[in-house]
Structure 1
Amino acid sequence: MAWWQKATVYQIYPRSFQDSNGDGIGDINGIIQRLDYLQNLGIELIWLTPMYVSPGRDNGYDIADYYHIDPIFGDLTDFERLLNEAHKRGIKIMMDMVVNHTSNQHHWFQESLKGKDNPYHDFYLWRDPVDGQAPNNWLSKFSGSAWEYVPALDQYYLHLYEKSMPDLNWRNEHLRAEIFKMMQFWADLGIDGLRLDVINNISKDKHFPNDTFQTPSDDGRNFYTNGPHVHEYIHEMYEKVFGPNQFVTVGELSSTPIDEAIRYTNPAREELSMAFTFHHVKVDYTGGKKWTLGAYRLSDLKRILSDWQTGMAAGGGWNALFWANHDQPRAISRFLDDGQYRDQSAKLLALVEFGLQGTPYIYQGEEIAMKNANFTAIDQYQDAESINAYHQMLSDGIDEALAIKILQQKSRENCRIPMQWDQTAHHGFTTGTPWLMPVVHDNYSVATKIHEPSSVFAFYQKLVQMRKTMPILIEGDYQLFEPEDEAVYTYQRHLDTETIRVMANFTGQTQVRTMPNVKEVLMDNYEQPQFDGQQITLRPYEAIMMRV
């Protein structure tokens, strides 16, 4: 059993975690200030979203210099101090790395613009026009064509994301060598692993065929997601960097089926440690489309989670477990109740997640039940994806009020408001003006919740410790009960002679179900479970873990 299989990861979005100098932007020294808090929570690994030099078109995922920390966060000396202070506390550091694309401000791309004979030109995916048009009909994830025309070269470059983020050409062996050299630089500094952004998109079909657009997902991804050489490239990363440095790695694998995720994460293949997949957080996409006011069916959510539990285990793969991250809305606002039953909802999600097989991730603020930003006007948003989607919705005939409601439900900026540390101005995040302003002053914060014995924080603490000491949660078989039950999610884990059952009521109504033969209640998000003979009564958003 690898150490990271029983560890808990805490994701930090540095810009919104803790500001130490009053400029309104979180920074490295702010993270250092909060390491004791994270040690108290019990986490063993921090995932840091990008802090490299960047123009910030995609909040750091558009990297202009892989070798330096953006001055808004600090410098390399600060980062080395963070590594040392984290390691002193038994906490490892996993950096976010983007190697599908760079910023157009990166030295490589600036050189590539100088001419087709420039050696850096082939570091990117340039193509000549076809009949005076873009090379194909692929769409950008940020709306519009995935191709940008450069008149001086009479060529288009590919950008699967924002047009200021050109895609790299992984067929070029010199590019790959530069990437591996850069990764080794960070390994030499002492980092413990990498989270690899959109890593399954790095290999494109060299013929760049048109997509069919028969379904919402036919936008080009059929020819670059899990592309023809992606496993070769990642195995090469493993041989050159991951293996020799004993890295823990997680790949962001959107639109990836189970059999492919197994190939990425089965240890025998020497690729990645674990897989981030997103099928369960697309369960409220109406007709497969994100920018809709969607609802979800619990049976669909259970089916997706269960398929990944049994499928990955059968193939020797490993899941990264999560409900939210910097790209997803807060789960309590999305799936449950962030009002009257806010604490119960947060605990339910924690218990369901930590009972599954995989490595659990806590996104900053989940441990104090932070909820969606709930912005009410487009000028409150800074996220390019959300702003582009808003204008696209308006051009598609959706009225402004509905477009805002859809953003309130689906925008990734919902989870990017600053961390809530106390009840002072701006929740103790900064002495200045936050880069992203919350709409209202929420009465939930670390200071008001951390000392309560029944707090969400204490609930997470206990779950984190259970993962370290209960092999059944790591190695146990998974079984789903009552798959068509639209109110209660019931599943079981079994290892040798031990069996644990989880029951979670995803509704605001009391539910009565048949009670298993309970030996011991391990966790419950209410004071006392309600058993009556052969029945268990689950109160609104109640979740219980039992040894049976």
Structure 2
Amino acid sequence: MKKRWWLDKVAYQIYPKSFKDTNGDGIGDLRGIIEKLDYLKELGIDIIWISPVYQSPFVDQGYDISDYYKIAEQFGTMEDFDELLAEAKKRNMEIIMDLVINHTSDQHEWFQKALADPTGKYGDYYYFRKGVNGKVPSNYRSYFGGSTWEPVQGRDLYYLHAFAKEQPDLNWENPEVKKELFDMVNWWLDKGIAGFRIDAIINIKKHPELPSYEPDGDDGLADFTTMIADTEGVGELLEELKTNTFDKYGAFTVGEVFNMQEDKLREFIGDEGHFSTMFDFSGEVLTKGGHGWYDSPKHDFKKWRDMVFKTQLKAQGIGYYANIIENHDEPRGASRYLPEGLRNPKGIKMLACVNLFLRGIPFIYQGQEIGMQNFTAADISEFDDINTKDEYRRAIDAGLNKAQALAVCNERSRDHARTPMQWNNADNAGFTKGTPWLKVNKNYQEINVNREEKDPESVLNFYKEAIRLRKSEAYKEVFATGEIVPRFTEFDKVFAYERILENKHILIAANFGAEEVHLDQEWKEGTLLLSNSHFSNNRKEIKLSSGEAAIILL
């Protein structure tokens, strides 16, 4: 397989609105990111993914873009962005942007022109269709609930939106749309960014007839993914995108890919794949409900571990995944993947161990490195997220009472990852001198960067140590390109695997259970490289206490 420049790197996702505010308006900004570049460099970060900072009405937190060529005023100016790019490069760090090209905002100039004349040039930039027998053109349910078809006022027409009604889908069958988007992508790459995280990209290819499907719920609708799964040809569109943009610059690209057909992995992340890598959503897929969050299965450690291994082994010899514990669309990993008794520094360090050394490139989400956790809302009004409010309504409609519906949101809301970054124990956790756009988690007095920087046993300092190990001259090749071999899978609460390259064998072993486990040792000697505890082992067996993790050179 081709050697990629990014394979021995570590990436970090910034959600700008919640990272660092420098002007007191309660919203994080680009100057806040500039201010914290040295912090990220010291952590060991090489690549920074910045969630959308484009001009937007912020119906869906910037994933509804009204101008791809402008920076939203809340975040600063294009001059601020250029300075950020230059300052990152001074520190040998790369910036990648969020690429949102399945849809625009309904405030985008293209869509406003399309509404004025749906039969004109810009009408064909989107999907406008006539109703059928006084009803919507087809029965898709949007990702945020309700029909994907929104009526156009004063006309017998509807437009298609896979997400919110304020996010109309672009028509990728139109060559002019593709040219507009390719030109925009190249404009940003010309600026010097290293690449993109590509949002919801599978959705760009629609079934040409946009047919209805058998309903899968009492609302008479079928999930939008049903149509997407029944559609061929997305690969051709992705190759056009790659050939006309990414390939010209050697760009690093990471796809947000759901619903990929099982046999298409090589086409997506192989040596000649559509993307450099794509996220592994093993945890997210396993807890997806049939109708919403309210009927989603609880986290099952063994199923999750086995799914991660299945994904890792499938990619071996084909390509590399981007490995995550959390992101801006998911609750905090410490509150999701750890049993209640291990939602503490020891357990959070253990979770870091099993994730950071998987095969592929690790993506750390802001606050993960200090062990940020979910908050508990007392009322649905405390949530800001459009998706959370929709899921609350779904739960109520399904017969849950308000307390039960709220409990569902307290477990699954995307806002858990969006609370402001906790820098210190001052007001608003040092995030802002104003009123934060979203409440700071109450635990910021104990969990914050300033305190953890001073504590040699903190989660933050453990992350720094683990990243140094991953990137060390002695071991970076085995962690970057080495084979992965699952180990000790007969233990239901053990997450263990070897990374192997030539004569180097490194074991990563962690005990997610409540009881100590004894693992048979098949080698004569081992050298401890890292542990989240005061680990010791003898020649016959490895003993792991509850929540203990160890990385051993065999």
State TM-score, norm by structure 2.
Answer: 0.94
Instruction: Pick which of 22-31 and 219-228 moved more.
Output: 219-228
> Aligned partners of 2:24 and 2:339: how far apart in 1?
34
2:467 corresponds to which letter in structure 1?
A: V
1:449 aligns with 2:452: yes
**Deviation (angstroms), 1:338:** 6.6
The correspondence for 2:530, drawn from 513, 523, 527, is 523
SS in 1 for 2:363: strand
Partner amino acid, structure 2, of 1:520 = T
In 2, Cα distance between equivalents of 1:197 and 1:39: 26
SS in 2 for 1:62: coil
**Number of aligned residue pairs:** 545
1:337 shift after superposition: 4.8
Identity of paired residues, percent? Answer: 36
CA shift in 2, pair 1:5/1:225, >3 Å: farther
Q: Matches of 1:500 and 1:534 in 2, distance apart?
A: 17
Match in the other structure for 2:126: 124
- 1:307 match: 310
2:97 maps to what in 1?
Answer: 95
In structure 1, distance between residues paired with 2:217 and 2:404: 24
2:495 paired residue number: 489
Distance in 1 of aligned mates of 2:498 and 2:228: 37
Which segment drifts farther, 388-397 or 214-223?
A: 214-223
Residue in 2 aligned with 1:284?
287
Q: Which amino acid aligns with 1:537?
A: K
Distance 1:226 1:339 in 2: 43
Deviation of residue 496 (structure 1)? 1.1
Q: Deviations over 1:269-288 (max 9, x none)?
A: 4x210012423223234558
Give the root-mean-square deviation of aligned CA atoms: 2.0
Structure 2 residue 511 is the aligned partner of structure 1 residue 509 = no
Q: Note the C-alpha offset of 1:260.
A: 2.4
Q: Mind listing any 5+ residue stretches in structure 2 that lack a counterpart?
A: none
Q: CA deviation at 1:382?
A: 0.6
Cα offset, 1:54, TM superposition: 0.5
| Aligned equivalent of 1:26, options 15, 28, 31 | 28
Correspondence for 2:426? 424
Select which of 214, 222, 234 maps to 1:230: 234
How far residue 211 of structure 1 moved from its aligned partner, in angstroms, is 2.5
56-65 or 216-225, larger mean C-alpha shift:
216-225
Partners of 2:362 and 2:293 lie apart in 1 by: 25
Change (3 A) 1:449 1:279: same
Q: Give deviations 1:81-103, integer Å, cap 9, x for gaps.
A: 00000110111000001000011
Q: 1:109 offset after TM fit, Å? A: 0.5
Letter in 2 for 1:292: D
Unaligned runs of at least 5 residues, structure 1: none
- SS across alignment from 1:409: helix
Any idea what SS the aligned residue of 2:329 has?
Answer: coil
Query: Does residue 268 in structure 1 map to residue 275 in structure 2?
Result: no
Contact preservation (8 Å) 2:14, 2:50: yes
Q: For residue 186 of structure 2, what is the aligned residue in structure 1?
A: 184
Q: For 2:441 and 2:4, how far apart are their aligned partners in 1?
A: 43
The question of whether the paired residues in 2 share the 8 Å contact of 1:115 and 1:153 is answered with no
Deviates more, 1:271-280 or 1:421-430: 271-280
Tell me, in whole angstroms, the C-alpha distance in 1 between the residues paired with 2:262 and 2:357.
Answer: 20
- For residues 401-443 of structure 1, the C-alpha deviation after alignment (integer angstroms, 9 at most, x for no partner) is 1111111111111111000001100110000110001352421
Aligned counterpart in structure 2 of residue 463 of structure 1, from 462, 466, 470: 466
Partner secondary structure for residue 407 of structure 1 = helix
Alignment partner, residue 478 of structure 1: 484
Conserved? CA contact 1:515–1:531, under 8 Å? no
Q: What letter is aligned with 1:403?
A: A
> Which deviates further from its counterpart, 449-458 or 413-422?
449-458
Q: 1:235 corresponds to which letter in structure 2?
A: E
Deviations 1:222-272 (A, max 9, x none): 322594232112211221111112210011002335532331111224x21
Amino acid at match of 2:312: Q
Deviation per CA, 1:462-492: give whole Å up to 9, x if none: 2222333321112221222343532111212
What is the rounded CA distance, in whole Å, between the counterparts of 1:170 and 1:285 in structure 2?
Answer: 28
Provide the secondary structure at the position in 2 that maps to 1:268.
coil
Using the alignment, how far apart are the partners of 1:227 and 1:97 within structure 2? 22
3-state SS of paired residue (1:544): strand
Deviation at 1:65, TM superposition (A): 0.6
Matches within 5 A, 1:74-153: 74-153=76-155
Pick aligned residue for 2:207 from 205, 208, 217? 205
The 1-side partners of 2:158 and 2:529 are apart by 59
